[in-house]
A and B are shown apart, each in its own frame.
Chain A
Amino acid sequence: MRHIDVHTHLAPQSLWRAFQSGEDWHGMGYEAQGEAEFIVGNGKRILINSPKLRYTPEERLAEMDEEGTDVQVVSIHTPLFPYHWDTGAAIQMSKEVNDEIAGMTKKWPGRFAGLATLPVQDVGASIEELERAVNVLGLKGAELDMVANSANWDEPHFLPLFKAAESLDALLFFHPQPQDNMVALGKTLKYGLPNSVGVVMEDALLVATLIYSGILDECPNLKVCIAHGGGGACFGMGRLDHGWMVRSEARVNITRPPSAYQKQIYYDFLTSSEAGLRFLIDSVGADRVVIGSDWPFVGWDPSPGGWLEGLQSLSQEEKEKISWRNLEALLGI
């Protein structure tokens, strides 16, 4: 069975090359502290939490061969999102990273596809870069955070970006930052909760925000995929429906109950349990679920595709759709 993985992270080689020559990378520097290593700058201190973040494309391919992944859809490691940077630097970095990913997809066209990084603090520049990434570089869309600095995606000034993505037939893959999310904003940094709990809440909130915002009605052909199976969104969908029924502020933009919109969205299969994945499929349909492994951060047994194939509660047809058919059709690969 073919395996296409929509959720794989990349810290660009340009960053590691800069560090190796003792240089900064767009204002980010390297720092070691005991055994821990960090990427530091632009107001952030990012732990290098996997040695595989340094992998060259060749090393990445070797591991893909080992785990039987045919295609990785590559996107930037989300703590490197440049939304809070100086706009000029963010535009420059986005172009550089998108060029690097495009280079991988050109050299190994059967093995890599790419999602762009966008300087979303400037919507006009983001649209321009998305057009270049899709039309010139051949990338499949873009990866976006849950918020653009403190602005939610339902704010009207982002609508042109969604319209552009829709007309470019570009996929928007939403992925939260593992640390800088609402749990960390609430200053609950202990026990790794921003990652283990915050990510699930962020994904669920984003699904709810996209649905209630009316963007899915404004852009009926927009292709959206949410990481981590959409967090708890499908499990909590009944509460969103009830809120829509009893609260007028929940109905300002949409005419149907939220659950009617959840099948307009794609979700990766990273629900962390077979029961969770089964629930997601039963909620949104097997046509809307795709492999997303969170490479290189999750240790799959035996591999992302192997895990899927070994599940008892999924039919062969469901496995084929999730493993490759859906992404093949969605991305044309």
Chain B
Amino acid sequence: MRSIDIHAHLTPQCFWRATEGSGEWHTLKRQQDARGREILVAGDRRGQLPPKSSWTPEQRLADMDSLGVDMHVVSPYAGFYNYEMDVGIAAATSRESNDEISQMMKSWPDRFAGLATLPMQDVSAAVAELERVMVQLGFKGAMIDDKINDKLLDEPEYMPFWKAAEQLGAVILFHQGGDTIVDQRIKRYHLPNSVGNLADRTLTFASLVFGGVMDACPDLRICLSHGGGYACYGVGRMDRGWQRIPETDRLAAEPPSAYLDRFYYDCIVYTEQSLRYLIDAVGIDRVVFGTDWPYDMAQDWPVSWILSMDSLTQEEKEAILWKNLEGLLGL
């Protein structure tokens, strides 16, 4: 039985090499905190780089072997979205990390597939890079943030991006970068991550549905990481909100719950009860294996976690671990 992980990040070796000593990678720098931990310095932004994020592809493969993971659909570290920066910088960092993923795919074609990062602050530059990675480099899609400098992805300016993604057959994985919606409220207890990631993903589901993007692009393939946040659990209230919108003002033809099975969701929900609920809500063909490698919020021993569940059939386990992604990505 294979296992294919769609939620596995890469902090590219080109960054580590360029920032050796006090070097820069397209204005990005690196420093160590008081405990000796590696910290990304990107303008005013800081991001913690866990030990495994500096690992070479060979070290990554050894870790995948120890976890029983056959394939990583590799996406760049979300700290490298660089959407707030000059588009030239974001285009350069995108291109360089995408090229590195491409090299990994060429060297180990049965172990790595790729999701690109894109300079989303410039839609035409983002579309150009998406075309390049899909057509020339054989990527499977891209990973983007839930918001581009405070704008959600249903804004009309992003429609050309959605149309291009649809035409190219690209899978778009949503994953937060930088602050989540919870940061403005409270930063304590890791809440910007443990609640914020789920809140941001819920807002993405809602805005793409309510905003009519899913109607305008019927073949769009979107994967929501972290199980889509509260989307499947909170969709009943969204249905009531949709009913309150006058029919002539509705951009979504159907109530939001009718769109649950239009999205894909990774399985990082941490409890069997929640995973079962997700499957029952969105359909077993819509739940895919994702682990959040190599971060501390990753699911521990993810393959054995899925395999050990009593409430999933063998068929459901195989659908999640590999069959769904094999079909979706043609792997």
Contact = CB atoms under 8 A, between A and B. Distances in A.
Nearest to B249: A191
A242 interface: yes
Interface residues of B, number: 50
Contact of B242 (A196, A273, A276): A196
Given A239-B270, A272-B236, A205 B191 contact: yes
Contacts of A147: 185
A205 B297 contact: no
A204 B229 CA distance: 11
Given A204-B199, A276-B236, A298-B240, A246 B296 contact: yes
A271 B277 CA distance: 14
Contacts of A204: 195, 198-199, 230
B238 A196 contact: yes
Contacts of A239: 194-195, 197-198, 226, 269-270, 297
A197 B238 contact: yes
A192 B230 contact: no
Interface stretch (B39-47, B62-70, B204-212): B204-212
Contacts of B238: 196-197
Residue in B150, B240, B242 with the greatest tally of chain A CB atoms within 10 Å:
B240
B181 to A, nearest CB: 5
A154 B185 CA distance: 12
A294 to B, nearest CB: 10
B180 to A, nearest CB: 10
Given A242-B297, A250-B190, A152 B281 contact: no
B270 A182 contact: no
A41 B229 CA distance: 36
Residue in A190, A201, A228, A272 with the greatest tally of chain B CB atoms within 10 Å:
A201
A63 to B, nearest CB: 19
Contacts, number: 170
Contact of B211 (A191, A212, A228, A275): A191
B182 interface: yes
B108 interface: no
B272 to A, nearest CB: 9
Contacts of A209: 186, 188-189, 191
B208 to A, nearest CB: 11
Interface string B260-281: 0000000001110110010011
B49 interface: no
A275 B186 contact: no
Residue in B188, B191, B195, B270 with the greatest tally of chain A CB atoms within 10 Å:
B195
Contacts of B281: 275
B237 interface: yes
Interface in B208-224: 210-211
Contacts of B280: 275
B270 A238 contact: yes
A252 B207 CA distance: 35
Residue in B182, B194, B241, B281 with the greatest tally of chain A CB atoms within 10 Å:
B194
B206 A193 contact: yes
Given A200-B202, A275-B277, A192 B244 contact: yes
Given A201-B199, A236-B230, A272-B234, 6 more contacts: A186-B184, A188-B203, A196-B240, A243-B297, A272-B240, A273-B235
Interface of B: 150, 152, 181-182, 184-186, 188-191, 193-195, 197-199, 202-203, 206-207, 210-211, 226, 229-230, 232-242, 244-245, 251, 269-271, 273-274, 277, 280-281, 296-297
